Structure 1
């Protein structure tokens, strides 16, 4: 029978383990730890009884309180929709001038549209509508299909080159790929189009200007300022969708362009679309 050894300082017995003269004491678990373990186990047991806890195949135990966060969330959403039903109905039916004339309604529209823009528009048009390669900037005054709330609302609704039956349509021909212009002419047109940002020269007798009038003026206008509502850009300003450098213009003339914007009619409500239109119309930079 082994001899029980007791530590003379603490009074605790030893476990018999010895490491180079250092002996392990058989000290009891602190009372605070025991109390903590008991309390946490009791809390877990109470939680199992009161709250949804254990999976049971395709279902789970509901708990005495029958707490259901999905139901609570649905109820909260329904309450929020009810609370804003009145002004949302006005948003969907009033004309834009009437909405702008109502400060409270306009404030609600801009506040509500901000997250809508972030969720649905920002991935392409960028934060604050700054645009990016292939996607036009929305915070300036350069518009292809019109920059009023009415025009913007229609564009959001039907899209551009989308599946909507009333979609806006625009396509830049591939002058080089489809052999409408040869490479020399493409080069001349590239330099000419790039120079338009410095101002259009009327009655320009150059060959490049003649090529422009013969091939481009029908869409971009004889003065190269574009025709709003046709999808043709103003080539005399600093706003470019695909880039205004020589290489980008060459690619555009050679291979053409065909942008795409989806129709949002099936995803957003009429009120949502109209709020977004007001939000985009009011973006910083519009009146500068």
Structure 2
């Protein structure tokens, strides 16, 4: 339908020719104040383009007459922040872990810095709240595969777990008892005994048979009472904290075909000061010894 521009009888203003359900659109001019604001923004934008970095072209951009760069400002701010932290970073560098933990200023600074390092480097595996998950240890509790004191945590962070590129890495490996060491009945019996150690539902008669197998095959690493051995990275079996298992089927699978986690060594990835702060942060999460 062709547009029909005509004068509105009530107002005397021309219409635009558009009509909806009998309602005609009037062609009123924009308010002058709106036009002035619009013109002002155009002038301002042109001035901004002349003074500050703006329009990109090719591999570059218009740099502006003010010679301003937000990147330079950020680098300047970072340099100032680093200089302001220089003294306390030097104190962290020259202090041992116990000294840091005993000094409230150093402790607060290390927890803040360690928390930032944890979020950037560790949270992907251990979770943002450090509660871990299947195959990734919870750092909030008091179960530690390799010990939870400051020095033990620092060693683990520095050298990693089963990280072959680091000659001092933490290393232990549970043998696959399903490969001819134990038969199915022995694995089932040992599973029931492990459940009994953790005070979980189990078959008492089968667990009694598994106790003998456990004493012969498992106690050397996990201890007779199932309390584990941090010097070997052998987990405690007498509590409800499990890395890979938690029920009879999972325990039997772990006995027969154990899984072994890997943690990278951070010795050559993070600075010594950052590792110290990260150590203190992990220790203070709640499970430190």
TM-score calculated relative to the size of structure 2: 0.87
Query: 2:110 matched to 1:109?
Result: yes
Cα distance in 2 for partners of 1:280, 1:119 equals 14
Deviation at 1:9, TM superposition (A): 4.2
Deviation at 1:206, TM superposition (A): 4.2
Cα distance in 2 for partners of 1:93, 1:211 equals 50
Residue 128 of structure 1 aligns to a residue whose secondary structure is: coil
Cα distance in 2 for partners of 1:90, 1:22 equals 78
Specify every segment of 5 or more residues in structure 1 that has no aligned partner in the other structure, as ranges.
200-204
Specify which of 220, 223, 226 is matched with residue 224 of structure 1.
226
Deviation at 1:122, TM superposition (A): 2.3
Deviation at 1:270, TM superposition (A): 1.1
Q: Is the 8 A contact 2:148 2:287 kept in 1?
A: no
Distance 1:10 1:82, change over 3 A: same
Cα distance in 2 for partners of 1:7, 1:181 equals 98
Deviation at 1:94, TM superposition (A): 0.9
Cα distance in 1 for partners of 2:218, 2:85 equals 49
Cα distance in 2 for partners of 1:197, 1:256 equals 19
Cα distance in 2 for partners of 1:185, 1:274 equals 45
Task: Give a deviation string over 1:182-233, Cα, whole Å, max 9, x none.
Answer: 111111111111111139xxxxx94322211222122222332221121111
Query: 2:120 matched to 1:119?
Result: yes
Task: Give a deviation string over 1:128-171, Cα, whole Å, max 9, x none.
Answer: 32221111121222111111111101111110011222111122
Partner of 2:279: 277
Q: Is the 8 A contact 2:130 2:140 kept in 1?
A: yes
Q: Is the 8 A contact 1:128 1:283 kept in 2?
A: no
Distance 1:65 1:221, change over 3 A: same
Residue 30 of structure 2 aligns to a residue whose secondary structure is: coil
Partner of 2:37: 36
Distance 1:189 1:42, change over 3 A: same
Specify which of 245, 264, 267 is matched with residue 265 of structure 1.
267
Distance 1:92 1:12, change over 3 A: same
Cα distance in 1 for partners of 2:223, 2:20 equals 94
Partner of 2:136: 135
Partner of 2:249: 247
Deviation at 1:179, TM superposition (A): 2.2
Q: Is the 8 A contact 2:150 2:288 kept in 1?
A: no
Deviation at 1:29, TM superposition (A): 2.8
Partner of 1:202: none
Residue pairs, 1:1-288, within 5 angstroms? 7=8, 9-13=10-14, 25-162=26-163, 163-176=165-178, 178-198=179-199, 206-284=208-286, 286=288
Partner of 2:204: none
Deviation at 1:13, TM superposition (A): 4.2
Q: Is the 8 A contact 1:52 1:61 kept in 2?
A: yes
Distance 1:151 1:11, change over 3 A: same
Deviation at 1:285, TM superposition (A): 5.3
Cα distance in 2 for partners of 1:40, 1:55 equals 20
Specify every segment of 5 or more residues in structure 2 that has no aligned partner in the other structure, as ranges.
201-206
Deviation at 1:16, TM superposition (A): 6.6
Q: Is the 8 A contact 2:139 2:287 kept in 1?
A: no
Task: Give a deviation string over 1:87-144, Cα, whole Å, max 9, x none.
Answer: 1122122112221221111111112222222222222223432221111121222111
Aligned residues: 278
